[in-house]
Amino acid sequence: MAEERESAEDAGRLSAVDAKDAKRRPAERPGISALNCAELELLAAERLDAAAYSYYRSGAGDEATLARNCAAFGEISLLPQVLVDVAALDPAVTVLGSDLSMPIVVAPTAFQKLAHPEGECETARGTADAGTVMCLSSLSNSTLEEVGAEPGERWFQLYVFKDRGLTRELVERAEAAGCTAILLTVDAPVLGRREADIRNEFSLPAGLSIACVGDGDVVAPSGESGLAAYFAEMLDPSLDWDDLAWLVETSPLPVAVKGIHRADDAERALEHGAAGIVVSNHGGRQLDTVPATIEMLPAITEAVAGRAEILLDGGIRRGTDVIKALALGADAVMVGRPILWGLAIDGADGVRRVLNMLRAELKQAMALCGTPSIAEITPELIAPRSHY
């Protein structure tokens, strides 16, 4: 009897612990949903295959830059103004010729069918519903033509392949599929050391391929990452500024350069015809220990001096992050991982939920900062270090 009482007491204690943990976790019951991007990630992690979640979540090296991208936003304080009429809030912007309902763009992320059977097509539907633009990755599991048939506006992220004929064909197909801008990725001459992918021997499961480039397979050699092997075989590490000039001359679409870290490289990009700069460290997945993107932004803003549009990705998880990026000179931000979490949870509806959640947070932050329009978000909103 004593043993039975002890067993019952232990079960009661375990139930209490489980109940306490359940309160910490986001509820996914009718009428109740995750309230922020961090909670969405927890839900997505439960639904995704472990290797797929690890691929999406992880970064390079010790993941110092991955962590820094988010942490740096928390070290910036806002200094709001008061007694401003914020009864009407307008977060709409125009970026690279695209009219957006908010300054938030869906960043290019690879292999979206690991999150949902319809992959990039579902993301396109959710993005269109939210009134913004999706940037399609060169490493997508859906073709340019499939995604181009979906509603909404698209940009295309371009890797330059050793086969320049293939690269030229990709640009032409992007134009034919209705893409309205090209984002040339320049921070990946080789793939960063992503140890989670090496440990998992990351590869695409049977039935999935890089559809944009003609069913490219991603197969892992023993003890290696399949994506690293694909990069080494297919992508051109000799990419230089002349190639940017060639792309600008070849395509009638505006070209933004994605992966800029330095002010002098931003200057060079403009000299070679870039219409936009994307301040990006590839989500902390390339060279570890580079600064957070928000830390690199002010110097690049100063160098660009209004001559081109500036986007920023990396670490955007809250509406206040968007405000801070805009105040420091970005015209818009790009969001990657949170979109994947929404896609994994609920397809197009999940993508729309993420974007609408960030827009609602942005509008609330605009009201509380006393900035009823995007044009009124200025550097004066950022508290000088002397304030704290």
Strand 153-158 to strand 179-185: parallel, antiparallel, or no bridges (unpaired)?
Answer: parallel
What tokens does 377 get? 């978000």
366 φ, ψ (degrees, to nearest 5)? -60, -45
Determine contact, residues 357/36, Cβ cutoff 8 Å.
Answer: yes
Task: Round to whole Å and give the CA distance between 329 and 311.
Answer: 9
Question: Residue 269: exposed, middle, or buried by beta-carbon count in 10 A (0-12, 13-18, 19+)?
Answer: buried
Task: Round to whole Å and give the CA distance between 281 and 261.
Answer: 7
Cα angle for residues 278, 283, 287 (degrees, 5° grid): 95
Longest CA–CA span in the chain (Å) reads: 85
Separate counts of helices (H) and strands (E) for the chain: 14, 10
Q: Is 261 a catalytic residue?
A: no
Catalytic option among 116, 261, 282, 387: 282
Q: Per-residue DSSP letters for 365-386?
A: HHHHHT-SBGGG--GGGBPPGG
Residues 6+ apart with CB under 8 A from 186: 239, 244, 257, 258, 259, 260
What tokens does 295 get? 């830390």
Q: Coil, helix or strand for 260?
A: strand
The set of catalytic residues is 282
